[in-house]
Every structure is written in C-alpha cells, then in structure tokens.
C-alpha cells in the first residue's frame, strides 16, 4: 500500500503515477531532442491539464464538503481526483497539441512524421503503466483484515480488553484509521473521524493507535477534547506492517463482508472521506 524512500513514505499508487508521468516525459524529451521539437513541453501540458481537470471535477462533485474548508481545494495530497475527467481532458488536449505540431511541420518540413507518434505513444505508455499499477494495488486492497489481536482502550480504572478486528466488526462497514499522537496529519484528521462517527451511523469508525501506551492515548484524546466511539491500541505497530503500509496516517475502508475495499495513505479531507464511504454503501 505504501513505499518508503529514505525517511519518507508514499502511497504506492502515487509513486506509480509519478513514474508513469516521468517515463512519458522522458520519451518525449529524448525524441524531441532528435526532432528539434519541444515534445516534452507538450506532454507536460497534457499531464497538467489532465490533473487540473480531474481535480476540478472532483471539487465540483463534492463542493458541499469544501464549503467549511475552501482552502482544502488546493490540497492535492488528499487524493481527490476524478480519473475519467482527467483522461478525457488529457485526450482532448493531446489532440490540440497534435494539431499544433501538424501546423509546425507545414512550416518546417524537416520535422519527421515520427514526431506525430510521440505524444500518443508516450501517453499510451503512461496509461498502461499506471493502469497496471492500479490493478496491482486493487488486488492487494481487496483482501481481508489481518488476524491481529489489538487492545480496546478503556477508562483508567478498567482493564483493557483484547479485540480481534477480523471478527469484531463483521457484517457492517468499517473505517479503520491508523494513527499516532506525534503525527501532525493524524491529529488534523481526528475531528473529521469524530464527525464521521455521527455522520455515518451505519459505519463503525475505529481509531487504531500505533505504538503508544494507553495513558498516552487517553491524555491525547482528553487534551484534544475528542470522543471517538472505538479506540484500539496496537502497542507493537503490527497492523501497519501486516497490511503493507509504513505510513501514518493510513485509513482503510472495509465493506460489510470484511474486505478492504479502499485504502487511503496520508491525510484525507472531508470530501475524500465522503467519496470512500459512498463506495462502501
């Protein structure tokens, strides 16, 4: 689900997209040098138009979620994109770039016909790589929860009770958030999780703390004024390793059959949370 590079952790799907885009740009740049045409710039514009269009359509679709926090519109890290809109916009813009290249060739006949194939070839290659990566991620996402015993956080006077996630919430959709109090994005997400527990009464919202003691977790929740219905402890941070994610926060969306339908690496917004919950129901 996530890939670590040095001290940084990234969603594998994001790295696949970056790699696919870089390959497309590299192909265009190398052939552009041979043909003396700025093909790399054309491919870069196509990628930019596709990304911006995918983001714009997503924001319009979930505009109600951005009213309370409009600055989140430019927070592209939340992963809020409509893929179909980006693909359509990219195709239309690539047609425009191809027409411009045709006009340029009329003025400079030394430009070979092969240059016309660069833009579609680079984009097709990028789409194939990205689609393969998405398929790979999907195969790993649609899996069951690991059979790991966690601990239910109780009050100071009560003893913590063991919980097996794979059995505890079967039969109802579940949002599982892996977090820690030292993780700033995790802290920023907490009010959204608290709100989600009320907004989606048919979905269990479970916060699984990674590697901290029960006292640390109680102190943090108290200091933030948070009241989460289900808080579990994972003292050895086994859960993240079991699902293949080293990043915090990581949020899993589990369907009523106990299968992971979607995994979000990094901080989510109200809009991306809403989209994921809609897909569960």
Give me 231's structure tokens: 């808080």
If one compares 174 and 168, the residue with the highest pLDDT of the two is 174
Q: Which residue range forms the structural domain that includes residue 216?
A: 149-280
The three-state secondary structure class of 156 is coil
135 and 242 in one domain? no
The span from the first CA to the last CA of the chain, in angstroms, equals 23
7 and 105 in one domain? yes
134 and 12 in one domain? yes
pLDDT tier at 16 (50, 70, 90 boundaries)? confident
| The pLDDT of residue 212 | 93
135 and 14 in one domain? yes
The three-state secondary structure class of 256 is coil
What letter would DSSP give residue 145? P
Give me 45's structure tokens: 């514009």
165 and 111 in one domain? no
Give me 229's structure tokens: 């219905």
**Torsion sign across C-alpha atoms 28, 32, 37, 40:** positive
Residue at a domain's end among 102, 124, 141: 141
Q: Is the pLDDT of residue 174 over 70?
A: yes
* Model pLDDT for residues 192-212, shown as the tens digit of each residue: 999 999 999 999 999 999 999
**How large a percentage of the chain has pLDDT more than 70?**
78
161 and 54 in one domain? no
CATH code at position 155: 3.40.30.10
Residue owning tokens 């108290």: 222
Residue at a domain's end among 118, 141, 164: 141
Number of other CB atoms surrounding residue 88 within 10 Å:
15
Distance CA 247, CA 250 (A): 6
> Which of 38-47, 121-130, 224-233, 238-247: highest mean pLDDT?
224-233
275 and 190 in one domain? yes
Q: Are 144 and 261 in contact (CB under 8 A)?
A: no
Write out the H or E segment, with its range, that includes residue 178. strand 174-179
Q: Are 251 and 176 in contact (CB under 8 A)?
A: yes
Residues pairing with 151 in the sheet? 162, 233
Average per-residue pLDDT in the chain?
81
Q: How many domains does the chain have?
A: 2
If one compares 124 and 81, the residue with the highest pLDDT of the two is 81
Which residues are CB-contacts of 84 (< 8 A; sequence separation ≥ 6)? none
194 and 130 in one domain? no
167-204: buried (b, 16+ CB within 10 Å) or exposed (e) per residue? Answer: eebeeebbbbbbbbbebeebbebbebbbebbeebeebb
227 and 164 in one domain? yes
Number of other CB atoms surrounding residue 42 within 10 Å:
22
* Model pLDDT for residues 30-67, shown as the tens digit of each residue: 877 877 777 788 889 988 998 999 999 999 999 999 98
275 and 161 in one domain? yes
107 and 7 in one domain? yes
84 and 121 in one domain? yes
Q: Is the pLDDT of residue 157 over 60?
A: no
| The pLDDT of residue 244 | 81
**Beta-sheet pairing, 204-210 with 230-234:** parallel
Residue at a domain's end among 90, 115, 141: 141
Mean pLDDT throughout 137-152? 66
Distance CA 110, CA 96 (A): 21
């Amino acid at each position: 689900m996530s890939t670590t590079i040095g001290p940084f952790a990234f969603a594998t799907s994001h790295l696949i997209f970056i790699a696919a885009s870089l390959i497309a740009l590299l192909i265009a740049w190398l052939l552009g040098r041979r043909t003396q045409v700025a093909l790399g710039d054309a491919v870069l514009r196509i990628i930019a138009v596709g990304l911006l269009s995918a983001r714009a359509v997503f924001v319009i679709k979930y505009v109600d979620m951005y009213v309370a926090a409009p600055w989140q519109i430019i927070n592209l890290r939340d992963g809020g994109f409509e893929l179909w809109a980006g693909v359509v916009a990219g195709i239309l813009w690539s047609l425009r770039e191809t027409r411009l290249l045709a006009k340029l060739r009329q003025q400079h006949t030394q430009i070979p016909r092969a240059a016309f194939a660069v833009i579609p070839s680079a984009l097709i290659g990028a789409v194939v790589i990205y689609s393969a990566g998405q398929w790979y991620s999907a195969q790993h996402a649609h899996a069951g929860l690991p059979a790991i015993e966690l601990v239910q956080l109780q009050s100071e006077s009560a003893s913590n009770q063991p919980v097996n996630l794979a059995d505890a919430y079967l039969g109802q959709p579940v949002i599982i958030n892996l977090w820690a109090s030292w993780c700033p994005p995790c802290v920023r997400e907490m009010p959204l999780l608290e709100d989600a527990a009320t907004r989606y009464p048919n979905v269990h919202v479970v916060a699984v703390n990674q590697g901290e003691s029960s006292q640390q977790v109680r102190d943090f929740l108290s200091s933030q004024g948070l009241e989460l219905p289900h808080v579990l402890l994972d003292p050895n941070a086994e859960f993240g390793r079991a699902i293949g994610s080293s990043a915090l926060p990581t949020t899993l969306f589990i369907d009523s059959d106990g299968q992971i339908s979607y995994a979000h690496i990094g901080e989510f917004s109200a809009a991306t949370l809403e989209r994921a919950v809609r897909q569960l129901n």
